[in-house]
């Protein structure tokens, strides 16, 4: 067993860290969130570094990046801006990956090179008002009509739907079949008649809007079906382990950002005649943050390694998701305490982490559902 990080992985982290420190400073990220304005220039520049092609192969402009590289990239994006993470991850690591694995040659040739160069973004339309954790209740219906599908229903929390070029929509194509046989995925292009997108006000990452999507007699050609008819749930299950690992990496990256910020502050801030890092209560908070970041990274990378090897990693991915997201929340909370009153001030950036981190405990499968899955796996195979 070798825990040494490779030179390539280290270089990737350094490149991304320097890029985001230059291109996404705290005040710029805060401004875009305050104005609720998507930063498409930053997105395209990030794509220029190869970020958007990490989910698929070179033949479509991607990079066949290994899972540890993707985790490092996710950490660095989450450290820089949740809004960027909310636009990038569904596009590159879920929807584009889904097209690469399950889509037709035409879909791959048409869409993936544009995802890789940052000109196309895709929103993930899974959640519905009555179907959050319980996806068996998805009710958005698609009916075949000649060469088209006609879609009626509603999605909620579809992040980036208002600016995305496609919605990767999970729809029910057979109302009588079980969820494992009755769901399919259809690509709904931007501007399709009958689609109404309504951004919702939210707590964090506001520069990428999270939206309600109303679908009324929306007609898309049959060529927009991704994967086999009725096999949408295999797409969910085929991509979810990776998604959960990446949410763990988001929590890790945010925790690292909070730790770096708190450490710098604790070295500089003097109270009672010495830097506050020399007060044991503060030093212990920093030590706890460091342990949280370290354990999250290890558990996330272990799951990523298993995924890379093609091994069953459902339990490890769920653990990575829970541990990484909760570690991120603990780190942001301790960071707030260490910065004292200044933590409340937008220009310091800690309050942004504090607001952003909660989502990672909820999205991608709530941490309660993840614990259910861990317990189920434990029952089957122990640890």
Ligand X SMILES: Cc1cc2nc3c(=O)[nH]c(=O)nc-3n(C[C@H](O)[C@H](O)[C@H](O)COP(=O)(O)OP(=O)(O)OC[C@H]3O[C@@H](n4cnc5c(N)ncnc54)[C@H](O)[C@@H]3O)c2cc1C
Q: Which residue has the CB atom at the shortest distance from ligand X?
A: 132
State both tokens at 344: 């409340």
Q: Which of 16, 74, 120, 124 binds ligand X (CB under 6 A)?
A: 124
Q: CA 199 → CA 81, 203, 206, 355, distances in Å?
A: 19, 13, 10, 19
166 near ligand X, judged by CB under 6 A? no
CB of 152 to ligand X, least distance (A): 18
372 near ligand X, judged by CB under 6 A? yes
First-to-last CA distance in the chain?
Answer: 19
Distance CA 161, CA 127 (A): 13
CB of 56 to ligand X, least distance (A): 19
CB of 192 to ligand X, least distance (A): 18
Q: Which of 109, 309, 368, 378 binds ligand X (CB under 6 A)?
A: 368
Q: Which of 31, 141, 202, 219 binds ligand X (CB under 6 A)?
A: 202
Distance CA 74, CA 252 (A): 9
DSSP string, 157-217: EEETTTT-SEEEEEEES-TTS-HHHHEEEEEEETT-TTEEEEEE--SS-TTS-EEEEEEEE
Closer residue to ligand X in complex, CB, 73/124: 124
318 near ligand X, judged by CB under 6 A? no
127 near ligand X, judged by CB under 6 A? yes
Q: Which of 159, 206, 296, 318 binds ligand X (CB under 6 A)?
A: 159
Task: Tell which positions 133-152 bind ligand X, by CB under 6 A.
Answer: 133
State both tokens at 74: 């996710």
Closer residue to ligand X in complex, CB, 158/233: 158
Q: Which of 90, 103, 227, 324 binds ligand X (CB under 6 A)?
A: 90
179 near ligand X, judged by CB under 6 A? no
Task: Please compute Rg for the chain using Cα positions.
Answer: 21
322 near ligand X, judged by CB under 6 A? no
State both tokens at 182: 């009755």
Give yes or no for a contact between 171 and 236, defined as CB atoms under 8 angstroms apart. no
290 near ligand X, judged by CB under 6 A? no
CB of 199 to ligand X, least distance (A): 11
Q: What is the 3-state secondary structure (H, E, C) of 222-247?
A: HHHEECCCCEHHHHHHHHHHHHHHHH
Distance CA 262, CA 282 (A): 10
Answer left, alpha or beta for residue 382, where phi above 0 means left and psi between -120 and 50 means alpha.
left
362 near ligand X, judged by CB under 6 A? yes
377 near ligand X, judged by CB under 6 A? no
Per DSSP, helices labelled H in the chain are 7-23, 26-35, 40-48, 67-80, 82-88, 96-102, 105-116, 179-182, 232-268, 280-309, 314-339, 350-356, 358-362, 367-381
CB of 341 to ligand X, least distance (A): 28
Closer residue to ligand X in complex, CB, 69/158: 158
Q: Which of 184, 210, 256, 357 binds ligand X (CB under 6 A)?
A: 210
Closer residue to ligand X in complex, CB, 62/205: 205
Q: Note the residues at the interface with ligand X (CB under 6 A).
A: 90, 124-127, 132-133, 157-159, 202, 210, 359, 362-363, 366, 368-369, 372
């Amino acid at each position: 067993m070798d825990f040494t990080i490779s030179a390539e992985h280290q270089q990737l982290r350094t490149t991304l860290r320097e890029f985001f420190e230059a291109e996404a400073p705290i005040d710029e990220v805060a401004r875009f969130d305050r104005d609720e304005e998507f930063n498409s220039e930053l997105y395209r520049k990030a794509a220029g570094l190869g970020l958007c092609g990490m989910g698929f192969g070179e033949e479509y402009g991607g990079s066949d990046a290994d899972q540890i590289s993707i985790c490092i990239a996710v950490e660095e994006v989450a450290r820089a801006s949740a809004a960027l993470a909310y636009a990038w991850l569904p596009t590159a690591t879920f929807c584009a990956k889904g097209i690469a694995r399950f889509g037709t040659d035409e879909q791959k040739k048409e869409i993936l090179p544009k995802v890789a160069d940052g000109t196309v973004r895709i929103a993930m339309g899974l959640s519905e008002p009555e179907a959050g954790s319980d996806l068996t209740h998805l009710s958005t219906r698609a009916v075949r009509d000649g060469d088209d599908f006609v879609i009626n229903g509603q999605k909620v929390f579809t992040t980036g739907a208002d600016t995305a070029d496609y919605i990767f929509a999970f729809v029910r194509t057979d109302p009588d079949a079980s969820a494992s046989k009755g769901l399919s995925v259809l690509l709904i292009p931007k501007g399709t008649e009958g689609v109404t997108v309504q951004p919702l006000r939210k707590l964090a990452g506001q520069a990428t809007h999270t939206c309600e999507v109303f679908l009324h007699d929306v007609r898309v050609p049959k060529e927009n079906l991704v994967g086999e008819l009725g096999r949408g749930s295999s797409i969910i299950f085929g991509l979810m382990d990776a998604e959960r690992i990446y949410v763990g990496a988001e929590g890790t990256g945010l925790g690292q950002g909070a730790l770096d910020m708190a450490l710098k502050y604790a070295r500089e801030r003097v109270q009672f005649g010495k830097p506050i890092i020399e007060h044991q209560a503060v030093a212990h908070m920093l030590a706890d943050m460091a342990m949280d970041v370290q354990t999250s990274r290890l558990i996330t990378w272990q799951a990523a390694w298993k995924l890379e090897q093609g091994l069953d990693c459902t339990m490890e991915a769920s653990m990575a998701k829970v541990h990484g997201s909760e570690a991120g929340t603990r780190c942001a909370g301790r960071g707030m305490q260490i910065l004292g009153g200044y933590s409340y001030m937008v220009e310091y950036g800690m309050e942004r982490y504090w607001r952003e981190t909660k989502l990672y405990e909820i999205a991608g499968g709530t941490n309660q559902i993840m614990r259910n899955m861990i317990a189920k796996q434990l029952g089957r195979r122990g640890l």
